[in-house]
A and B are shown apart, each in its own frame.
Chain A
Amino acid sequence: MSEFSEFFRANHSLVVGVAERRLSSRQDGEEIATEAFRIAWERHRAGEPLSVPWLYGVVRNLIGNEYRRRDRQENLHTHLGEELSSHPDSLDETHADVRDALQRLPHIHRDVLMMTYWEDLTTREIAEILGTTPLAIRTRLVRARRLLRSALADLDQHTSTEVSTHE
């Protein structure tokens, strides 16, 4: 398998997933991936190296372009996954709660949680993408988890009161 082939196979789904979550559309995710790998192809043909951090930067720029094209600035902080929710069961509410809690975190903490748990990037990759050290990412992640736990606990207290009145 050629170097480009390997890179494509290894990273195509990563790109679709990253784009899908931010654009709330799998179709858009696939289109971003098509464009991203076309750009990767050009880069490869020019003799430049391919890497995950580079690719991730390209994908975020393409997503940014799509936001501008849609011209809906408020979507920069859209509730995640509203259009994507596909679990029609009682867990859905819990998942929505988790996503809500995530939404309330400061941008950088939300990002590092998403990149770690949804995009499956390693600490090292995240550090390279953001131009910082793995140590900084890991301490940010520790802090982010702590913040999320508090946000979820707040939610919990709130919902348990509500549940009792519904009963």
Chain B
Amino acid sequence: MNDLLGDVLRAADPGTVRRDSPLSERALRELAAFEAAERELAAFEAAERELATNQTSERDPAATNQTSEHELATNEAAKHDLAATEAAERAGTSTPAEAHHVRAGTRRPSSADRSGSGVEARGSRRPAGRPARLRPRGRLGLAAGAIAAFAAVAIFVVALINPGPALAATPPLLELTRVSGSAPELLTEMAQMQRTQPPAGDTIRAQMWALNTSIAEDGSIESSVTEPQRSETVFAADGSVHLVLTAAPPFPGQEAAGLPKPGTVLVDESFPSGQWEFPAEAGPPTSVDEVGAYLAALTDDPNLSDGQTLREIAGILSNFPITRAQEAALLGYLATLDNITVAGQTTDRLGRKGIVFQARDRSPDFEDRLIVSPKHGQILAAETLYVGSSRTDIASPSVIDYVAWER
């Protein structure tokens, strides 16, 4: 971004360590310890595999009992570690029980860690030769599942007792009706329709809304709800881009008090040529065969889930004035993916008939959708649903973002 302001901000950074700073001595020591542990475990795994293939059916009973006790002990240690891991990963809330859970579960950096020997101390807790993670997954998997289930119940019970802040209001879910045809069939048809449409323009108009999610200082997820917005992005011939963002009317069910009046200009900014995040040369290909490689390069990720692909396509549509041929190629590419299904037919948030395509493979917590017109084959809208069970700031399922292009 054009960046006198950015330079000023960077200069005011109070931090002494930046993302690209070289590793400290302490970090290098810890890394060395991890690498040593990895080598040890790898050697051990190899030895175990060899032992397993050489094992005969007759084993010394005494040795078997000792082994089982060992496994029990190390599995207990591993269970504790796993609980600590899960506790640290789970977003905290302010409920006392969960705070306790997180506190109890997460080991404070102790003086042992400070000296960098924490990893070695860990290693020695595992009796030589039995890193618990290498045991048959089934046993450890069950323990982990039981812990997670217990924790989930504990949180749920506490949530009932201390309901906490009200759930954030989110836009209504789209109503879906059945439609026949598989995703690949429908998408292929729509791609073909696209190629016969009149040329698209150089202005993108959209209405969008997203849940304002941030991470509070205490680590919990906080959501606040803002007004929907309308954007108009004009791509000039000289490469410059002009973005105007205005407040749009509240979504159905949204409390209007406190929101800016619809039409209020929120942002009016020009980006000189070369400073728009999506440069002109970065447009998608017009041939279906090239789309996969294009998306991989765009995202620096060769293994995009189909859900991510839908989101990336939405991003392209919002940031780059694509041609009909480019849009047809994107639809044709979606027709080749395995995890895209038809959710149904709907009337979208701007009143247009659309077919809803969805993917659930990005994450068990999210469902990604793309809505395409069965009349013109145009991509009309995209949205994301939260479908998980652990968040306390919003209901499930609920819409957490949408964008609808005025086309």
Contact = CB atoms under 8 A, between A and B. Distances in A.
Interface of A: 2, 4-5, 8-9, 12-14, 16-17, 20-22, 24, 26, 29-35, 37-39, 41-43, 45-46, 54, 57-58, 60-65, 67-69, 76-77, 80-82, 84-86, 91, 94-96, 98-99, 102, 107-108, 111, 113, 116-121, 123-124, 129-136, 138-143, 145-146, 148-149, 152
A12 B5 contact: no
Given A13-B23, A35-B113, A130-B213, A67 B218 contact: yes
B167 interface: no
Query: Which of A9, A22, A64, A141 has its CB near the most chain B CB atoms (within 10 A)?
Result: A64
B88 A62 contact: yes
A2 B106 contact: no
A57 B91 contact: yes
A63 B91 contact: no
Nearest to B214: A108
Interface in B265-282: 266-267, 269, 277
Contact of A31 (B23, B114, B122, B403): B114
B245 A139 contact: yes
Nearest to A122: B300
Contacts of A63: 217, 219
B24 interface: yes
A63 B102 CA distance: 12
A34 B267 contact: no
A19 B55 CA distance: 49
Interface residues of B, number: 87
B297 interface: no
B49 interface: no
Contact of B6 (A45, A67, A117): A117
Contacts of B19: 13-14, 17, 119-121
Contacts, number: 240
Contacts of A146: 267, 269
Interface in B69-125: 81-82, 84-85, 88-92, 99, 102-103, 106-109, 113-114, 116, 118-119, 122
A13 B18 CA distance: 6
Nearest to B11: A95
B9 interface: yes
A118 B219 contact: no
A135 B15 contact: no
A108 B401 CA distance: 16
Given A42-B81, A84-B14, A120-B20, A60 B215 contact: yes
Interface in B244-269: 245, 266-267, 269
Interface in B1-57: 1, 5-6, 8-24, 26-27, 30-31, 34-35, 38, 41
